[in-house]
Amino acid sequence: MQKFLIIQTAFIGDVILATAVAEKLHLQFPDAQIDFVLRKGNEGLLQNHPFIKTVFVWDKKQGKIKNLFAIKKQVKANKYDSVIDLHRFASSGFIAGFSGAKEKIGFDKNPLSFLFTKKIKHEIGNGKHEVERNQQLIEHLTDSKAAKPKLYPTLENFEFVKKYKNNPYVCLAPTSVWFTKQYPKEKWIELCDQLPTNLTIYLLGAPSDASACDEIKSKVISEKSKDIINLAGKLNFLESAALMKDATMNYVNDSAPMHIASAMNAKTTAIYCSTVPTFGFGPLSDSAQIVETKLTLECRPCGLHGHKECPKGHFKCGFSIETSELLKVLS
């Protein structure tokens, strides 16, 4: 039996996109053991996953180095055929490089890539999607066609959100770790005010996003305000995924909820402010649209991940996006 280990210790969206590698390996090797290493806080994404057997959780906040060595020891004891490192940091390279696996695969940008038995050139900005970049690492094991990411909410997850599905609804995920990836709150309020009256609006996010969602709801002046429900912090990852699956539309930033929608093949409108789709992290649902400014801004993009504030102070990449562009995707 083949034994594979996938390493992705970055953010939520990165882990979701990494599930495409698991999908592809499972398709090619249905009887193989597939395990996963991720950072603490993201393990809920893979809870009850049907074919990822073991999830190694690296706690990076408490005893980071001690826990890194513990993970490396556990990995080495499993004697993997192939360890596939999707991250490009030394920590993941350390786990892969000293895994003792027959095959250690990763990107050339990893500082410890000299320990890999196979390394692939990593390029961002040429339009290639992240799932395609990751697929290059296992192309020799499968083929060149990338699978799509996928999450697996349980029946219990779907049952938990069933009460929110009595009427047509849209999901809005208005926040992001990075300020310049966030569509401005004033524009979210405007969108809520103008959405069709028959739609319930669910605001999604982490517990830390609840106050921002409350502010948006409180400033909606139309009758729509009574149809806005703040679910930030009230749903876990897979419950959010189960809710997004059947939404009339999911309005998201270039952030983790966009990738959750992709993994559920849910209808998606992705709003791009400071970042651009050519970085390769766009929506993958069959029904997905990208909305971005029509202005030519010399300052855009201002970085791969965005910033905590607009470097120019005007945030035109966000404020210049017309609400009408977001509404017409419903027609």
- Give the model confidence (pLDDT) of 56-108 as tens digits: 999 999 999 999 999 999 999 999 999 999 999 999 999 999 999 999 999 99
Quick one: what percent of the chain has pLDDT higher than 90? 93
How many domains does one find in the chain?
A: 2
Same domain, 326 and 205: yes
Does the pLDDT of residue 305 top 90, yes or no? Answer: no
Residue 143 lies inside a defined structural domain of this protein: no
The identity of residue 245, as a single letter, is K
Last residue of a domain, one of 138, 172, 207: 138
- pLDDT confidence of 1, banded at 50, 70, 90? confident
Same domain, 164 and 34: no
Q: Which of 36-50, 198-212, 217-231, 241-255 has the lowest mean pLDDT?
A: 217-231
Q: Which of 78-87, 124-133, 196-205, 215-224 has the lowest mean pLDDT?
A: 215-224
Of 111, 136, 46, 24, which Cα lies nearest the Cα of 4? Answer: 24
CATH number, position 103: 3.40.50.2000
Residue 27: other Cβ atoms inside 10 A:
11
Does the pLDDT of residue 54 top 90, yes or no? Answer: yes
Same domain, 166 and 240: yes
Same domain, 168 and 283: yes
CA distances from 165 to 162, 192, 195, 248 (A): 5, 18, 17, 11
What pLDDT score was predicted for residue 231?
A: 98
Task: Identify the domain containing residue 90 by its residue range.
Answer: 3-138
Does the pLDDT of residue 225 top 80, yes or no? Answer: no
Q: Residue 221 class from Cβ within 10 Å (0-12 exposed, 13-18 middle, 19+ buried)?
A: exposed
What average pLDDT is seen over the chain? 96
SS3 at position 28:
helix
Give the CB-side neighbour count of residue 6, counting CA atoms within 13 A: 31
How many angstroms separate the CA atoms of 172 and 177, rounded?
16
Q: Which helix (H) or strand (E) holds 252?
A: strand 249-253
Same domain, 221 and 113: no
Residue 203 lies inside a defined structural domain of this protein: yes
**Residues 6+ away with beta carbon under 8 Å from 93:** 85, 87, 106, 110, 111, 112, 113, 115, 116
Does the pLDDT of residue 223 top 80, yes or no? Answer: no
Does the pLDDT of residue 140 top 80, yes or no? Answer: yes
With beta carbons less than 8 A apart as the criterion, state whether 16 and 34 touch: no
Same domain, 104 and 178: no
- pLDDT confidence of 331, banded at 50, 70, 90? confident
Of 152, 149, 121, which Cα lies nearest the Cα of 44? Answer: 152
Looking at residues 268-296, what average pLDDT do you find?
96
Residue 151 lies inside a defined structural domain of this protein: no
Quote the pTM value.
Answer: 0.96
Same domain, 7 and 39: yes
